[in-house]
Amino acid sequence: MKLLNTRRRAAAGIATVSLTAAALAGTVVVTGANGADPTTFSGVVLGVGADETARTVAWYSSATPTGATVELSTTSDFATTKTFDATVASNVTSDAATGNALTSANGKATLTGLQPSTKYYYRIKTADGAKSAYYTFKTGTFGNGGYQFLFFGDPQIGSSGDPVLDGDGWQYTLDQTKIHSPKAELYVSGGDQVNTANNETEWTQFLRPSELRSIPWAATIGNHDVSGYAYEQHFALPSTIDRSDPLYTNAAKKGPAADAVSGGDYFFTYKGVLFIDLNSNAYSATTNSDPAHVEFVRNTITRQKAADPDIKHVVLVYHHAIYSPADHANDTDNIQRRTDFTKSFSDLGVDLVLQGHDHSYSRSYAIKGSAESPSGAKANAAEQPGQTTVVEGPGGVIYVTANSASGSKFYDLTEPDATKGGYGADTLKGGPETKGHTRHWANSVENQEHVPTYIEVSVTDKGLTVKNVRSGDGDSPNAAVQRGNVTGIGPNLAGTPAPIGSLVDQVHIYRSQADVPVVKPPTKPTVHLVGAAPKVNGTARVGKRLTVTAGHWTAGTKLTYQWLADGKPIKGATGTSLKLTKKLKGKKVSVRVTGSLAGAVPSSLVKTSGVKKVK
């Protein structure tokens, strides 16, 4: 733990520099009209648009300027730009950290018409001449598959009691993704960006990483985000959002208002994947919301697949994990969601569900809901724990719960309890088991190591590959461990963390057996048989002995020898030496070497030496 404390001091120093840089980024001092205070910008965040050709931009500004726009260019000098109008509104919340009402504003814009494989520069500009710093992002190729996106569980900045240290861990994880998942084009949230909904100190730490200005963030509302309106102020959500009353925990507080809550479901498509994001805070026991969520999912899948036949996969995202392994595994609201969601998601052809909330990791078996098993059952009874290739089959869905991406909070694994909605123990043994722990029946893998991780998903036309990647170790910022909120670290919490970038888990997911790539035996490289001409050594005189040096041949070649006299074989002379007899006097002696190597090209090769005349 001394290493951790030493690193904590170093990390805190780095954080101070990073935070200062973040505070300055996007802030340009320009004298306002008639000597008014200049407009400054902060909290800039890039978001997802309706598809890969669009992005959103959101920010806070020190005032409510008129004529705010976002300029987009392919060059850093903005010599040629496209301009997108922004909407700017006064912030309505009070900062939970200080109790003071915000005097700032929030701005939002949508950038459209993006081209594939293009680097873009963007900045915010107002009618009074204020400009933010410029930021960059790059689009990938367009078309289906062939990309990666990352999913992050609960950064929940502030939950350790130290927002700056939590921010250090969050920054560290995003920095590690650039090393270990450099091809990622999209960030997807599991919710709980912050610990206290309207706490702007926590939001500043969450928005600190520069990666959030270069890779689009698909925001999700967690239970710690939902009770305030800062989530709505900080993010520009896609135009596909549905703000119907049942999709809120309290429709009377939709906002904007000082006591407003956040809410709504939305979707977007990205290169052959339909992402559907639900506000799972609104659920049946309080607002009869689960049927509304299911209807939103059904309508979205039906309409989008009809409009875009190139959609290959459906990924659902929401906060409350319904097959999780830790403190929230048996919460009554999650028992309710298991009943309300599972059959519908199976019927609608969902491939993958990404969830947060339980600050631990689990990957389910392929689960199928039915009239007989509305809360789900294994789609394939033969699927084994930790199986690395899974064919879901009709109705099979894999549910993943992500651990903390920042290290601000971890929940230890809990034991199955069949009396809680039937969420009992798995009867199968094997796979990457945790010592002394029994998995829940639904889960192929359950894990807690008290280190931050993130989920990498690779997309192809045929399937999805899901990896759980470690982004921290015993020396990286890890607030929950450093502050003594949890004990133990590493596999089995035994004190030896695995390396950063190593995998907790990996699975290849396919809808049908026909989609599984045929694994061909590795093709052996072609071996070419080569050999040198042999050399005859010694004095060519009757009574003397000649020897042969075969020279260099391809490794493994079998060599045979035949001595020749005037080009004709000498009977019995098949060794590496030849005794010169009187019969050979006056003859021209040479040796023929034949090399043979099975599987080589050619399989045999003959080389003959020069001649020596026997005296």
Long-range contact set of residues 14-19: C-beta below 8 Å, sequence gap at least 24: 14/168, 15/164, 15/165, 15/167, 15/168, 15/171, 18/171, 18/208, 19/164, 19/167, 19/204, 19/205, 19/208
| Residue 489 vs residues 7, 84, 162, 223, 478: alpha-carbon distances, Å | 16, 48, 20, 27, 10
157 contacts: CB under 8 Å, gap ≥ 6: 163, 166, 167, 170, 193, 194, 195, 202, 203, 205, 206, 406, 408
In angstroms, the CA 308 to CA 99 distance is: 48
Yes or no: domain 146-515 corresponds to CATH 3.60.21.10: yes
Q: What are phi and psi of 28, to 5 degrees?
A: -125, 125
- Radius of gyration of the chain, Cα coordinates, nearest whole angstrom: 34
In angstroms, the CA 15 to CA 297 distance is: 41
460: its two tokens:
């192809």
The 10 Å Cβ neighbour count of residue 588 is 15
What is the SS3 string spanning 369-438? CCCCCCCCEECCCCCCCCCCEEECCCCCEEEEECCECCCCCCCCCCCCECCCCCECECCCCCCCCCCCCC
Q: Say what angle helices 163-180 and 2-24 make with each other, to 10 degrees.
A: 90
CATH code of the region 527-613: 2.60.40.2700
Which residues in the chain show pLDDT less than 70?
A: 1-37, 286
What is the SS3 string spanning 241-267? CECCHHHCCCHHHCCCCCCCCCCCEEE
In angstroms, the CA 17 to CA 141 distance is: 35
10: its two tokens:
């170093």
In angstroms, the CA 437 to CA 440 distance is: 10
pLDDT in tens, 223-236: 999 999 999 999 99
Counting every residue written for the chain, the total comes to 615
- pLDDT value, residue 1: 32
In angstroms, the CA 462 to CA 510 distance is: 7
Bridge partner list, 90: 105
Spell 74-105 as b/e; 16+ CB within 10 A means b. Answer: eeeebeebbebebebeebbbbbbbeeeebebb
Q: What are phi and psi of 469, to 5 degrees?
A: -110, 130
Which segments of 126-216 are extended strands (E)? Answer: 135-138, 147-152, 184-189
In angstroms, the CA 309 to CA 269 distance is: 12
In angstroms, the CA 18 to CA 92 distance is: 28
In angstroms, the CA 178 to CA 31 distance is: 38
| Residue 431 vs residues 127, 209, 386, 434, 508: alpha-carbon distances, Å | 61, 36, 4, 9, 15
In angstroms, the CA 287 to CA 303 distance is: 26
3-class secondary structure, 285:
helix
- pLDDT value, residue 37: 64
- pLDDT value, residue 8: 35
Closest-CA residue to 332 (of 435, 421, 209): 421
Q: What residues does CATH 3.60.21.10 cover in the chain?
A: 146-515
Q: How far is CA 470 from the centre of its chain?
A: 11
- pLDDT value, residue 328: 95
160: left (phi over 0), alpha (psi -120 to 50) or beta: alpha
What is the SS3 string spanning 307-360? HCCCCCEEEEEEEECCCCCCCCCCCHHHHHHHHHHHHHHHHCCCCEEEEECCCC
Identity of residue 395: G
In angstroms, the CA 460 to CA 313 distance is: 9
Q: What are phi and psi of 170, to 5 degrees?
A: -65, -45
- 453, 446 Cβ separation under 8 angstroms: no
- pLDDT value, residue 481: 97
Number of Cα atoms under 13 Å in the Cβ half of residue 15: 23
Q: Helices in 25-112 by DSSP H: which ranges?
A: none
- The helix (H) or strand (E) run that includes residue 109 is strand 105-111
253 contacts: CB under 8 Å, gap ≥ 6: 259, 260, 261
Q: What residues does CATH 2.60.40.2700 cover in the chain?
A: 527-613
